[in-house]
Amino acid sequence: MKNRNLFGTVALVIIGVIFGAVLVSGFGWVRPGLADITIGAKNPPITDIDVNAFSKAFIEVAEKVTPTIVQIAVVSESKSNPHEDFPFFFPFKDDTPRKEMGSGSGVIISDDGYILTNNHVVENATKVEVSLFDRRTFEAKVVGTDPQTDLAVIKIDASGLPVAYLGNSDNVKVGQWVMAIGNPLSLASTVTAGIISAKGRNIGIIKDNSGGEIEDFLQTDAVINPGNSGGALVDLSGAVIGINSAIATSGMSNSYIGYGFAIPINLAKNVSKELIATGKVNRGYIGVQITPVDPATANAVGLDKARGIMVQALTKGGAAEKADIKEQDIILKVDGREVNEAGELQSYVASKSAGDKVTLTIWRDGKQIERTVTLKTRDTNSKVEPASEENTPDRPKKGPSNTMTFDNIGLTVRDMTGDEKDAYKTGNGVMIQDVKELSRAYDQRLGKGLVITQVGKKNINSVGDFEKAIEGKKGQAVLLKVIDGQGNSRYVGLSIP
């Protein structure tokens, strides 16, 4: 009985082996003729990358740079009332100062304890404490701050510290690998990696009472979260190319959703040196309000393509006005460097001091010219103002309005009354009465209630003037000067189909 069972078991094993061999060989069987068909490339596209060496680059940067990054804990006072949103339950005003805790990161820039960080990390701080990579802690003093760039320098009483190597952010390329090193969400010495996603970003996050905000951010997809502020963005040589400053957020969350922003290190180097030397920044200013040039504006002024930045308005008595810079000028270069975003010019000029000279290459009246500007100290009381409009003091105060619709651009304009001109503080212009959705005018953000005062360099006094100014411009573009009810002006390129 046992022998029969043993024989049966052996037989089943043999049958299983034979069936398995047939099955496996069946999967490797190729229909006759298909073996001769070639699909796919013969060689992989990249064969010279040593993955281990690539990984080692990240490891070495983390090991070398992380000790130069510090964690910053801040205590500040706030007079805000935590119950102000619940007046029914807490009806009495409470201005008692309250302690608030904050944290961030910093980069050691000298072996004797100078540390570069963000202004918003140490702003209004009553106490600043620094923790080093080796777990030593020091109380720090604020050496100086620069709200216009969101940079600050603090100092600890130490020596022999590891110092970060500060690179050259002008050489940064979109697409290159970078690493963000800091202390996000109180997670000390955290390293993340990504690429440079864009350069020259102006995201409108720096708020300064003087109105001189300077934004020229590097954008990265390396993960950055609260607590990373003031930390380092480094390339794969370990050079610091930016100071992490902001993140894109969504809704009520303050957490990372895909993009972070860093201040270019070249700007940070210049600011930090001045803060160490004097505790403040003696920054030079050109005194212009500028915007990028779009294709319609380029067409209107005769440029070959959309490039440069347009002067929208000038500071009265400022450096630009004294150097014969005019509204509608297109700034193409500064000291031979191309500029296509407002932040590029602002960042470059921010690295200069009052009294320094810069050469602007300008497009004006269909030709390229140069003007040398001697930078001036910013006067916080000065304002960027549009050129004054034509004055007609004896105009009638009221009267019927002549209205005309231009279907090809989706714009309806009408003559202005004298009272309206007084309200808009202009001596001339036509009022935009209506803008058709999805029209050329709509696309250029022209809207009801704006006033068109110029087409090109011709003042517009009536609907008839406007009609004459744009007739015959089919297939071209014109440059409009518009003002709003608050007296703000801008130039707008408008294509005429």
Radius of gyration of the chain, Cα coordinates, nearest whole angstrom: 32
232 exposure class (CB count in 10 Å sphere: 0-12, 13-18, 19+): buried
Answer whether residue 204 is part of any domain: yes
Q: What average pLDDT does range 122-130 have in this prediction?
A: 93
Instruction: Give SS3 for 48.
Output: coil
Return the DSSP state at 236: T
Question: Residue 221 has what pLDDT?
Answer: 92
Tens digits of residue pLDDT in 219-258: 999 988 888 999 999 999 999 999 999 876 555 556 556 7
Question: Residue 11 has what pLDDT?
Answer: 53
Tens digits of residue pLDDT in 36-76: 787 777 776 666 667 778 889 999 999 999 999 999 999 98
**Per mean pLDDT, which range of 50-59, 334-343, 393-402 is the poorest?**
393-402
Confidence category of residue 463, pLDDT binned at 50, 70, 90: very high
Asked if 338 and 428 sit in the same domain, the reply is no
Could you tell me which residues come within 8 angstroms of residue 497 by beta carbon, excluding any fewer than 6 positions away?
408, 409, 440, 474, 475
Last residue of a domain, one of 213, 248, 278: 278
Average pLDDT, the chain: 83
State yes or no: pLDDT of 17 exceeds 60.
no
Answer whether residue 128 is part of any domain: no
Q: Where residue 257 sits, what CATH number does that domain have?
A: 2.40.10.10
Confidence category of residue 77, pLDDT binned at 50, 70, 90: confident
**Per mean pLDDT, which range of 93-102, 195-204, 247-256, 392-401 is the poorest?**
392-401
Percentage, residues of the chain above pLDDT 90? 52
Structure-model confidence comparison of residues 399 and 213, the more confident one: 213
Asked if 412 and 436 sit in the same domain, the reply is yes
Answer whether residue 471 is part of any domain: yes
Question: Residue 22 has what pLDDT?
Answer: 45
Question: Residue 488 has what pLDDT?
Answer: 87
Answer whether residue 57 is part of any domain: no
Please identify every residue annotated as catalytic.
120, 150, 229
Asked if 349 and 268 sit in the same domain, the reply is no
Structure-model confidence comparison of residues 77 and 415, the more confident one: 415
Q: How far is CA 495 from the centre of its chain?
A: 28
Q: Where residue 322 sits, what CATH number does that domain have?
A: 2.30.42.10
CB distance 327 to 290 below 8 Å:
no
State yes or no: pLDDT of 293 exceeds 90.
yes
State yes or no: pLDDT of 476 exceeds 60.
yes
Question: Residue 350 has what pLDDT?
Answer: 83
Tens digits of residue pLDDT in 194-207: 999 998 887 665 55
Answer whether residue 295 is part of any domain: yes
Confidence category of residue 412, pLDDT binned at 50, 70, 90: very high
Tally of domains within the chain: 3
φ/ψ of residue 282, rounded to 5: -95, 80
Last residue of a domain, one of 385, 418, 440: 385
Asked if 175 and 269 sit in the same domain, the reply is yes
Last residue of a domain, one of 278, 296, 315: 278
Beta strand 288-292 with 309-315 is antiparallel
List the structure tokens of 313: 């308005």
Answer whether residue 200 is part of any domain: yes
Answer whether residue 49 is part of any domain: no
Asked if 381 and 288 sit in the same domain, the reply is yes
Alpha-carbon dihedral sign for residues 456, 462, 466, 468: negative
State yes or no: pLDDT of 27 exceeds 80.
no
Asked if 304 and 357 sit in the same domain, the reply is yes
State yes or no: pLDDT of 369 exceeds 90.
yes
Confidence category of residue 397, pLDDT binned at 50, 70, 90: very low
Asked if 304 and 381 sit in the same domain, the reply is yes
State yes or no: pLDDT of 301 exceeds 50.
yes
Contacts 24+ apart (CB under 8 A), 485-490: 485/423, 485/424, 485/449, 487/386, 487/424, 487/425, 489/312, 489/313, 489/386, 489/453, 490/291, 490/312
Tens digits of residue pLDDT in 105-120: 999 999 999 999 999 9
Asked if 441 and 475 sit in the same domain, the reply is yes
Question: Residue 81 has what pLDDT?
Answer: 54
Question: Residue 475 has what pLDDT?
Answer: 86
List the structure tokens of 365: 């009246």
Question: Residue 253 has what pLDDT?
Answer: 55
CB-CB neighbours of 110 under 10 Å: 16
Question: Residue 189 has what pLDDT?
Answer: 87
Asked if 274 and 179 sit in the same domain, the reply is yes
Q: What is the pTM of this model?
A: 0.69
Confidence category of residue 24, pLDDT binned at 50, 70, 90: very low
Confidence category of residue 343, pLDDT binned at 50, 70, 90: confident
Asked if 182 and 243 sit in the same domain, the reply is yes
Question: Residue 400 has what pLDDT?
Answer: 45
Instruction: Give SS3 for 151.
Output: strand
Question: Residue 59 has what pLDDT?
Answer: 95
Question: Residue 246 has what pLDDT?
Answer: 81
**Residue 285 corresponds to which amino acid?**
Y
Instruction: Give SS3 for 211.
Output: coil
Confidence category of residue 23, pLDDT binned at 50, 70, 90: very low
Question: Residue 161 has what pLDDT?
Answer: 96
Q: Whole domain around residue 222: which residue ranges?
A: 169-278
Distance, in Å, from the CA atom of 143 to the CA atom of 154, rounded to the nearest integer, reads 5
Question: Residue 321 has what pLDDT?
Answer: 92
Answer whether residue 59 is part of any domain: no
Return the DSSP state at 255: S
**Per mean pLDDT, which range of 322-326, 366-370, 375-379 is the poorest?**
375-379
Distance, in Å, from the CA atom of 320 to the CA atom of 311, rounded to the nearest integer, reads 10
190 exposure class (CB count in 10 Å sphere: 0-12, 13-18, 19+): buried
**Per mean pLDDT, which range of 213-222, 254-263, 270-279, 311-320 is the poorest?**
254-263
Asked if 203 and 229 sit in the same domain, the reply is yes
CB distance 252 to 275 below 8 Å:
no
Element (H, E) at 60: helix 51-65
Distance, in Å, from the CA atom of 294 to the CA atom of 491, rounded to the nearest integer, reads 11
Q: What average pLDDT does range 353-373 have in this prediction?
A: 93
